[in-house]
Each structure stands twice: as structure tokens, then as C-alpha cells.
Amino acid sequence: MKEARRVRDLFGHPAGLTVLFTVELWERFSFYGMRALLILYLTHVALAQRPQDMVGFATMAGLLGFDAARASSAQWQALASQIYGLYSGFVYFTPLIGGWLADRWFGKSRMIVAGGVLVALGHVLLTTHATFLLALVLVILGTGGLKGNIAAQVADLYAPQDGRRERGFSLFYVGINTGATAAPLVCAWLAQVWGWSAAFEATSVGMLIGLAIYVACLRLLPGARGRQAPAASVADQVAAGRGEAKAARRAAWAVLGLISLASVFMWMSYEQQANAMMRWLVATPDDVMMAWIQAIPPSVVLLGTPLLNRWWSHQARRGREPGPVTKLLIGAGFVVAAQLLLPVYALVSGGKPPAMVPLLVYFLIWEMGDLFFSPAAMGLYSRLAPEGKGATTMAMWYLTVFLGNIASGWIGGLWGLFSPVVYWTMIAALSGGCITIIALAAPTLRRIIARTRTLEA
């Protein structure tokens, strides 16, 4: 931590935040460019052209209980959704392994570089039909080295009691969403004009640019010379100050467990935007440019984050900034409100996709919820991380995305079996689990967080 503080601040935050912001921008360009096209590529190309020729297809089909010889069109659609769900889920599970390896053996920087190389290689291999599934595995493994460790390095930039931490994660979130905004626009256009290979190769180039920036700016990051001796977390400070080590750790894990459970329901809702919603909006490969709508959610984050951060900073100076639990509640409320719009749209249109303006309203409200919820949750994960387990604890946040994605992929297999009204009502009900858990647990969460802040004062 001392090493991080010796580096001058930039725009009111450690200079390393700008580096990690930029690296994450390009890494997310790589990820979201692929994510925007994956369900369409699976449905119209990979599973439509002798999928038996893909290495590992027979094994995967057997594990999923899928019989290619007897499968109906609806079953192929369900398989595409399951593959998408497994991929988009496991890219958020492997960061738990990558964080553990970083904390215990290799350090964050080495894991990030190795992960980036694997991701770039995986994206290059995607459009080689035989290696399609192998390419997905490489991306999953590479993301494990990258994702949690970059977020943990953001946490390393701030002392445990530094009030800028949550706002730093909001700015880091801008980097994520800058890449996520550009990727669907660029990659959908490339796929439409130049073909699938050009689109996926662009995602590989994005990852390599991010890696180059990271390596060039290592000196600005904490722990640049190897594994860093971690600063004591808030939970550990409380334990040391009151002699309640076990109780403090249990309290911190209880907070993280409740936030994790609530987050799973939120991600179930989010991943439908690239799964069932894309199949609702895109009927044929000729409509692939409709993937551009996935640039709408991150663009809302780009526009909204500076405004919210400015407001929160103003409120902080007056001692009135909303606490993290309040931010979680507001965010979850926005998500549920947005999700309730979709069954209404489907009912009014007779099951047809909504027009662009109602769709924009849905995305605007949903992403406002994300703006409140995700940075607050990430800040709490990093603040409550036990000593020496920063990367592993941050990876737990991505584990919630893993569980939400796996569930979302399975639920997406039901698309077509129910009417759009019934399907989107079911998703709205599931997203309600997020706000319900946070609301019921809010007094406990506030009490534990207040106890940690008593020592800081």
C-alpha cells in the first residue's frame, strides 16, 4: 500500500486507476464484442454446420443429455442457450481460481498477463469450426487470470478507510462500459460487412492492446515488483482493535454472502439481454446489426457515472452521501422496475418485440439500477476482504455473475416454450429476489458496516 501511495494522484485518484481503467476498457471491448455475437453465431453458424466436427462436441452433448440425431429445432435452440450460459457463466467462475493463484503463488500482475494471452488466442480460434469449443475454453481460462485480479488491483490503490474507494470503482466501471459500448457497434458492423472472422479477430486485437498498455505501465500499479504485502482490511482492523477476530470475520462473510445471493438474481435478469432478448429481436443472420442495441446499456453507464459521481462527491462534502446499503436498495429497485416493463411491452404488442423507444426506456432504467448497485457491491467486497485474500474475495463478486449466468442460460432454454408475456413475467419475478434479500437484510448489513467504521473514526 505504501508503494501505491508514493505514486502521484491523477484527477483526484491514484494514477494507477487510469491505467487499470484503460486496460479494462480494452479487455471489455474484447469480451463484449464476442458476447454481442455469440448467441447469434451459435444459432446460425456453429450449431447449424455439422457441429459433430467440433472437438469436444460429443462429450459436451453427452454431459448435457443432448441427442443430436433426434433433436428438434427447439432443442437445438435450447442447446445454444445452454452453451451460451455455460460460457458466460464460467468466465465469471474462473476468476475465483485466478484470484487464489495470485494471492497464494504468482501475484496479480503475472496472472493478468497470462490470462490476456489466453483470451487473445481463444478469440483468434473462434471461427475455426473444429476448434470453436476449445476457443471458448481458452477464453474462460484466460478471463480467470484477468478479471478478479484487475479489480483487486483497483482496491490495492486505496487504504481501507479511504472514502474514495467506492467512487474509484465507479470510475473503473466507466472503463468497463466504454469498451462494452464500442464493442457491439464495431463488431456487429464488422460481422455484417466483413464476416464473422473479422469481428472476432477485432476482439483479439482489443485484448492485445490492453495487455500492451498494462505491461508498459506496471510501475504505476501496486505490487509491481511481485506479490504485495497486503494492508489490513477493515474486518481485520476491527478484529485487532476489539479482540474479536472470529466474530469480525464471520460478520464480514455474512455481509458478503447476503450481497452475493442478491446479486445472483440481478445477473439472471441482466444476461437475458444477450440471450432471450436477442432471439426475440433477431430473426435471421441478416439482422445481425441488431446486436448494436447491446451498446445501449453501457452507454447509459458512461453518461450516468460522471453525473452520479459528481452528485455523490457533493453529498459527501455535506455528509449526506448515500451509504452502500442504500445504493444497493436503490439499484435493485430500478432493476425490478425495468424488468416489469418487458411483460407489459409483450402484452401490448401481442408478443412482438417492442419498438425502439420503449426498448430504450427499459435499458435506461435497468442500467440506472446497475450504476447504483454494482460499484457499491464491489466497494464492499474490497473493503471487507480478509488480509491477504483481496483477489480471492473480489473474485467472489464475479462468482455471483457465474451463478446468475448459469441460471440464465438454463432459463433461456425455456424461450419459445412460453409466450413472451409469460417468459418476461417469470424473469421479472426472479429479479425481485434481489431487492427482497437486500431489503430484508438491510438492518443487519448497516449494523455490521457501521461497526467497521467505528474503529476507522
Given the DSSP bridges, would you call strands 9-10 and 13-14 parallel, antiparallel or unpaired? antiparallel
Q: What is the mean pLDDT of residues 285-297?
A: 68
Q: What is the pLDDT of residue 76?
A: 85
Whether the per-residue pLDDT at 305 is higher than 60: the answer is yes
pLDDT of residue 133: 92
Helices (H), 318-355: 324-349
State how far the Cα of 309 lies from the Cα of 29, in Å rounded to an integer: 23
* Maximal CA-CA distance, the chain: 67
Q: Give pLDDT, residue 331.
A: 93
pLDDT tens, position by position, 374-416: 888 887 777 776 666 666 777 777 788 888 888 888 888 888 8
The CB density around residue 6, as the number of other CB atoms within 10 Å, is 6
Q: Which residues contact 137 (CB under 8 A, 6 or more apart)?
A: 122
Any idea which of 79-93, 163-177, 194-208, 326-340 has the lowest mean pLDDT? 163-177
* CATH number for region 11-456: 1.20.1250.20
* DSSP H or E stretch at residue 454: helix 420-456
418 Ramachandran zone, left/alpha/beta (phi>0; psi -120 to 50): beta
In this predicted structure, what is the pLDDT of residue 301?
Answer: 77
Per-residue confidence at 2, pLDDT binned at 50, 70, 90? very low
Least confident span in 121-125, 160-164, 407-411, 423-427: 160-164
- Cβ neighbours for 194, distance < 8 A, ≥ 6 positions apart: none
- For the ranges 239-248, 329-338, 356-365, the lowest mean pLDDT is seen at 239-248
Residue 173 predicted with pLDDT over 90: no
Residues of the chain with pLDDT > 90: what percent? 17
Mean pLDDT, rounded, of the chain: 81
- pLDDT at residue 183 is higher than 80: yes
Q: What are phi and psi of 195, to 5 degrees?
A: 105, 170
Cα–Cα distance, 196 to 128 (Å, whole number)? 10
Q: How far, in Å, CA of 173 to CA of 183, rounded?
A: 15
Sequence-distant (6+) residues with CB within 8 A of 210 are 22, 23, 24, 25, 26, 27, 29, 30, 116
Q: Are 260 and 380 in contact (CB under 8 A)?
A: no
| Whether 227 contacts 391, CB under 8 Å | no
Start-to-end C-alpha separation, the chain: 20
Question: Residues with Cβ < 8 Å from 66, sequence gap 6 or more?
Answer: 60, 75, 79
Rounded to the nearest angstrom, the gap between the alpha carbon of residue 95 and the centroid of all alpha carbons in its chain is 11
Above 80 in pLDDT, residue 252?
no
- Is the pLDDT at 325 greater than 80, yes or no? yes
- As a whole number of angstroms, the distance between CA 281 and CA 413 comes to 16
| Three-class HEC string of 381-433 | HHHCCCCCCHHHHHHHHHHHHHHHHHHHHHHHCCECCECHHHHHHHHHHHHHH
Q: Each residue of 420-446: pLDDT tens digit?
A: 999 999 999 999 999 999 998 888 888
